[in-house]
Copies of this chain bind each other. A is one copy, B any other.
C-alpha cells in the first residue's frame, strides 16, 4: 500500500480549515501579485526553520521570536521587497503589518507569522501594503491557494503548489504547501519561502523536530547558486482538524509523518530547483558508501556548487575531471582506486581512472533534462542525495539586472 497519494490540484487550502489568498499590494513595480495571506479557522501549532545567514530581514527577526508562541492562526507574506537592512522604517513596517492584520482578522498579534522576499535595502511600501491587508482578509477562501502561491513569487516562472493525503490511525490527513525558490537555493535553504499547512493533530515540539529533520534532508540539499539569503523561511502549521489521535511521542505514527513530510519537501524542492534561475537541467547527485553522512554531504555539496561542474552540464561537455577536482577540493580523504562514478547507469570512473574515450554515450546522458550522478566511495555505508542544476547565460542575465 502506498504511504500517501498526491492530490491532483490545490495546496495550502487542501487541509481542513485553512483559507488563503493573494493580491497586488503595490510592492512590485511589475504590478504582479505580491502579497499572500494564509489563515486557519482553528488554532494551529506551528514549526519553522529560518536562514542561518547572520544578516536577517525584519519580518524574519520578528517570526523567530513569534514562533515560540503556543498557537498561531495566520501567515502574512509579501514578495518584491525583502524588508531587510532598510533602517527603522522596516521594523516599523513589521509593527504596522501586525497591527493591521490583528484588527482585520480579530486575532491576537501573537498568532501571526510574517515573511518577506525580494530586494534587500529598499524602503518598504507599508502604506499600500496596509491597505491591502483588510482586502485580503475579505478575499480569504478555499480557492485562494493559487493566488497565495503567486503572491510569494520573485524570479520564479511558475508558482509551486503541492498537496497530499495520507492516513494517520483511522483518519485521513492532508498536507498542502506553496513555495518560492529560484536563485540562491544553496546550503541552508537559501532564497526560498515555503508555507505548509496540515490538519494533522500533533504536539508542537514534535512538529518542530519533524520539520527540522525534513528540511535538513531536502531544502538544505539543493544548489542553484552559492548564495544564502537573508529571508529564507519555512513555516508548517498544524490545526488538528483531521481529528486523528494526537501524535504525542516519537512513535510509529510520528515516523510515518516524518517520512511523508520529507517526501513532500523533497518534491517541493525538486520543483524549486527545476524552476531555478536559467536552469535547463537538473542533476541528482547521490553520494554512496561514504564513511559518514557529514562527509557524504560535504562532497555532494562541493560537486553541486562547482561552477565548472554546472557549466559542464550546460554544454553537455564530457569533462568529468571537474567532478574529481571538486571531490578533491573537499579535503576529505578519498581512496581514488575504490571510487566509482556513474552518470545514470554509465560508469565514467573506476580503478583510479576515468573514461578516456567513448564520450558520445556520456554526452547523451548530459543532454537529458534530468539525470543522476552517483558517486560511490566504497569507504563506508552512509549516503546522501542532493539536487543541483546547470549554470546558464540566462542565470547571468537574470541576476545582472535584478533591481534595474
Contact = CB atoms under 8 A, between A and B. Distances in A.
A226 B321 contact: no
Contacts of A251: none
B54 A120 contact: no
Interface stretch (A22-30, A158-166, A264-272, A302-310): A302-310
Q: Is the interface of A mostly helix, strand, loop or mixed?
A: loop
A85 B392 contact: no
Interface stretch (A104-112, A130-138, A350-358): A350-358
A391 interface: yes
A66 interface: no
Contact of A53 (B123, B184, B328): B328
Q: State the oligomeric state as a number of copies.
A: 2
Contacts of A325: 53, 55, 120, 227-230
B356 A123 contact: yes
A396 B400 contact: no
A70 interface: no
Nearest to A318: B403
Interface stretch (A198-206, A211-219, A331-339): A331-339
Interface string A296-322: 000000000111100110110111111
Contacts of A354: 85-86, 120-121
Contacts of A184: 308
A170 interface: no
Contact of A317 (B315, B321, B402): B402
Given A55-B336, A333-B54, A324 B230 contact: yes
A95 to B, nearest CB: 17
A334 B54 contact: yes
Give 8 nearest A-B pairs by CB, closest first. A120-B321, A315-B400, A55-B328, A311-B399, A393-B393, A87-B353, A314-B400, A54-B328
17 contacts: A53-B325, A53-B328, A54-B327, A54-B328, A54-B333, A56-B328, A84-B321, A85-B349, A85-B354, A86-B354, A87-B353, A120-B354, A121-B324, A225-B308, A226-B306, A230-B325, A311-B402
